[in-house]
Amino acid sequence: MQDYIDLAEKNGVTLLDTGKCQFCGANTKRGIHECLEIFNLGFQEIDFSNIENHIYRFLIVDAHTLQHPEIHGRWNNHFHLSRLHLIFKYEIKWTYQDSPKLSDCLNKYKANKPHEYLIPAEVLKRGRITTTDILASANKEDECKALIKQWALEVYENWNTYHSIVDIIAKRFLN
């Protein structure tokens, strides 16, 4: 797995070390680095231990990844948007076992579309909810869950130009 700093450089993006997150606008002091730290460590306060709450972990990962595509590989957009599409449009109750199946569907899809690229919206215009908002609600379970779902839905809707593309991948997954 490549380092996010290397991926940003590969994508022609200079990462800022101070201020708010340059991609989502999270109220950080150390930019994307702190935003990722919150994503990787700060969400440990959220209890994902019961089966019903696992969906929120996937929603967090997908929302954050699609808000910060410049620090990920280009096929990540397809994967995370397809998963959100399956969750929101087809009401799939996502489990860890579903992710490899979706990866297989995506691999078959991209074999025929090697140059396809999902272009993200402008930075700071990919949904108004950020990691710092989720972190602020982490110890209020119902509020936190509602905010996570709203965050993922905002980000998903922001990528609506590509819903027809990920629907092809989703239908392969469903079949």
pLDDT in tens, 70-102: 999 889 999 999 999 999 999 999 999 999 999
Distances, alpha carbon 101 to alpha carbons 84, 89, 98, 106, in Å: 15, 18, 5, 9
* Number of domains comprising the chain: 1
Q: Residue 148: pLDDT above 60?
A: yes
The pair of structure tokens assigned to 16 is 């800022």
Question: Cβ-count burial of 116 within 10 angstroms (0-12 exposed, 13-18 middle, 19+ buried)?
Answer: middle
Distances, alpha carbon 88 to alpha carbons 3, 94, 132, in Å: 30, 11, 24
Residue 121, CB half-sphere, CA atoms under 13 Å: how many? 17
Residues 32-75: tens digit of each pLDDT = 999 999 998 878 777 776 656 788 999 999 999 999 999 998 89
Report percent pLDDT > 90 for the chain: 78
- pTM attached to this predicted model: 0.93
Q: What is the residue range of 62's domain?
A: 4-174
pLDDT score at 1? 47
Q: SS3 of 119, please? A: coil
